[in-house]
Amino acid sequence: MQYSSLTNIVIFNNCNITVMELNGRDFILRELNLADAPTLQLHANNPNISRFLFNRFPLPYTLEDAEYFINSKVGQDPITCFAIAINEDVIGIISLEFRIDVYTKAPLLGYWVSERYWGKGIITEAVKLITDYAFKHLDIISIRAVVFDNNPVSMRVLEKAGYLKEGILKNNIFKNGEILDEHIYGIVKKI
């Protein structure tokens, strides 16, 4: 999938400021800013979202959590964490987490979208956008994603975006008192 626009240029105080945006059909992927904290908190504060994410994703998700997260991502170069936004409202996050050691060229993909927008194809399109962006603009060779056993919808998202299931780590996750399998998905850069 090709996105319609990678970068928009904005002129401010006679200076060129580059604003990163990846445009989907009904949403954009863009950099986070502190003004996003209220809508980020509103959509993130949901047990139906946190149940599919690592424990570092807090519940309840407070305004302070949103501000802390945004502050940790502002100024990234290159940008690897994007707000999923509709009409200035942040309805989710999609990001690539770079790893160390032998994994430096194989980041982990992570994402979530507000329950209000489930089933609308937003995440599948967002995964395609960030994957295309990453392979064209970042020094990587593959992207991996992990999905908990209790989230078959996310597995289907990845499959529709071109990712392949590469394996299952049995009884590898302990989340909310439940032991789960971890499904490993990946996509390799075409050379």
Give per-residue pLDDT as tens, 111-140: 999 999 999 999 999 999 999 999 999 999
Q: For residue 15, is pLDDT > 80?
A: no
pTM beyond 0.85: the answer is yes
Mean pLDDT of 48-63: 96
How far apart CA 135 and CA 131 sit, in angstroms, is 6
Note the pLDDT tens digit of each residue in 57-75.
999 999 999 999 999 999 8
Report the mean per-residue pLDDT for the chain.
91
Number of CB atoms found within 10 A of residue 126's CB: 24
Contacts of 15 (CB under 8 A, 6+ apart): none
Q: pLDDT confidence of 13, banded at 50, 70, 90?
A: very low
| Cβ-contact 153, 42 below 8 angstroms | no
Q: What is the CATH number of domain 7-188?
A: 3.40.630.30
How far apart CA 109 and CA 97 sit, in angstroms, is 6
